[in-house]
Structure 1
Amino acid sequence: MNIPAIELMTALRSGHATSPRLTWYGPDSERVELSGRVLDNWVAKTSNLLQDELDAEPGMRVRLDLPAHWKSLIWALASWQLGMETLLDGGGADFLVTDKPDTFQGQYDAVVAVALPALAMRWPGELPDGVIDYASEVRSHGDVFMAHADPDASGCALSGRDGQRHLHGDLLSAFATPHEEGVRLLVSAADGLEAALANSLGAWTKGGSVVLAHPDVELTEKLLAAERIHGG
């Protein structure tokens, strides 16, 4: 069964696949640009990590304890493609994905540590026993995702910080923020992960692209002009 998240990934890798779809500006002059095809590749590898290494299935819950960041968007898309529920609050979950792995122990079936620097090939330093290093593990997984089980469109896709729940079937219609066709959208990471997800989904659904900026990045006129940011 195709759910909106699966259809979105198909559109991102097939329509204008080489055009930028997600651009990240981070601290220390960090800039990461993902085309539709590369974005889909990252999402597929992450979905395969979840499915093949963690035995994740539709309906299972993954808590994203991450800031608004390009890797956080990858994890949400990967979870939704599998038919999983992502939690942005402190609710109980099967898996935890975090950039603070030392904080959580013994509460989840699996904990995945995400190093946020773009060039990180592994977690900097030692990880607690049993914690999976996303940066070092994800590259070994397949570039194409094939689900082992059909997701359920009536299942929950997202539990937001305000407790509101969104189903897979209406993720792009009820949760995504409406935007203009073909928008090149500036999204501030300072507004949080939930807002970044809603805005990004809304832009991608309309064939647009996203520039996600860390709060420490100065949004100069030169930067905005170089990224051809317009509308919202």
Structure 2
Amino acid sequence: MSIPAANLMTTLRSGHATSPRLTWYGPDAERVELSGRVLDNWVAKTSNLLQDELDAEPGMAVRLDLPAHWKSFVWALAAWQLGMEVVLDGSDAHLLVTNEPDGGAGAGFDAVVAVPLAALAMRWPGELPAGVVDYAAEVRSHGDVFMAHTEGSADDPAVRGTSPYAHEALMDGFAAAQEPGVRLLVRAAEGLEPGLAAALGAWNQDGSIVLVHPDVDVTQHLLENERVSRS
């Protein structure tokens, strides 16, 4: 496949596949570490959910109404490797992915997906509006390997945010430049768009990220324990 996100996922699952690629620090002492292989597994399952259950295909747009979180990053990678456009500016899209499905934001979307942010959530905690897909309950049933039904195009839109980017510019335009092998601290408080740009830049240079929730103190102990090389 010609789109850079698909090539990135191949690299993450094959090169240093057992090494940490995304480490998340959340509230209540939550720590989640995803190796390249595990990250690819989550992304593949999410891409398969998009393709097989939500009828998503290249060229469609998915709006991520989510904070900067490891599951948000999984969703962005899943959409990109499918050849979709990730909408980060709150504008119209075919699909809505949100952690606030009761907010009335679902009007006008082909489908709405509710994402519980707790790491161990097996389903949405409570009742969901009619027709809303429960990501936690559905994603695990999908395949661990993603095979696109339709190949995405490099000149299709990939990001709609502060500036628009096509898939061909995802790594050399949207992604923030990073040093080779960087272990990068990413502060979730800075927002989803800059967080994704930083993460793509790190992964593109065979690096990894430590993503930290706004309520978590970034201490010297944390930085040393995670061997952060750039913060």
Q: Structure 2: which 5+ residue stretches go unaligned?
A: none
Q: How does 1:125-144 map to 2 (within 5 A)?
A: 125-144=126-145
Once superposed, what is the RMSD of the aligned Cα atoms?
Answer: 0.8
* Counterpart residue number, 2:14: 14
Q: Is the 8 A contact 1:186 1:211 kept in 2?
A: yes
For structure 1, which segment, 1-10 or 58-67, has the greater mean C-alpha deviation from structure 2 after superposition?
1-10
Gaps of 5+ in 1: none
Output the CA distance in 2 between the equivalents of 1:109 and 1:217. Answer: 36
AA at the equivalent of 1:171: L
Map of 1:11-160 to 2, 5 A cutoff?
11-103=11-103, 104-160=105-161
Output the CA distance in 2 between the equivalents of 1:86 and 1:231.
27
Distance of 1:95 and 1:76 partners within structure 2: 13
| TM-score, length basis structure 1 | 0.98
SS of equivalent residue, structure 1 residue 78 = helix
Question: By how many angstroms is 1:187 displaced?
Answer: 0.3
Aligned equivalents of 2:91, 2:218: Cα separation in 1: 35
Asked whether the equivalents of residues 17 and 36 of structure 1 are also in contact (C-alpha less than 8 Å), the reply is: yes
Query: Percent identity between the aligned chains?
Result: 69
Which residue in 2 is equivalent to 1:220? 219
Answer whether contact 1:187 1:211 (CA < 8 A) is retained.
Answer: yes
Q: Quick check: 2:96–2:106 contact (8 Å CA) kept in 1?
A: no
1:28 match: secondary structure: coil
In structure 1, what is the Cα distance between the partners aligned to 2:94 and 2:230? 39
CA contact (8 A) 1:23 1:211 kept: yes
CA distance in 1, matches of 2:91, 2:194: 19
Residues 199 and 209, structure 2, Cα contact 8 Å, conserved in 1: yes
Note the C-alpha offset of 1:105: 3.3
**What letter matches 2:97 in structure 1?**
V
Q: Look up the SS of the partner of 1:210 in the other structure.
A: strand
Contact kept in structure 2, 1:180 and 1:231, CA below 8 Å: no
Provide Cα deviations, 1:44-73, integer angstroms capped at 9, x if missing partner.
000000000011010001000000000000
Distance in structure 2 (CA, Å) of the matches to 1:175 and 1:106: 29
1:145-200 CA distance string (max 9 Å, x none): 0000010100000001x3x1000011000110011110000000000000110000
Q: Which amino acid aligns with 1:147?
A: A
**Counterpart of 1:224 in structure 2: which amino acid?**
L
The whole-number CA distance in structure 1 between the counterparts of 2:195 and 2:39 is 16
Q: CA deviation at 1:231?
A: 2.6
Query: Separation in 2 of the partners of 1:109 and 1:11?
Result: 32
Give secondary structure in 2 for the equivalent of 1:33. Answer: strand
Give 1:91 deviation, angstroms.
1.3
User: In structure 1, how many angstroms separate the alpha carbons of the residues matched to 2:90 and 2:189?
Assistant: 20
**1:106 shift after superposition:** 2.9
1:29-51 Cα distance to aligned partner (Å, 9 max, x none): 00000000000000000000000
Q: Retained in 1: the 8 A contact 2:115–2:136?
A: yes
Moved more, 172-181 or 97-106: 97-106
TM-score of the superposed pair, with normalisation by structure 2: 0.98
Amino acid at match of 1:36: G
How many residue pairs align between the two structures?
230
Residue type of the alignment partner of 2:110: D
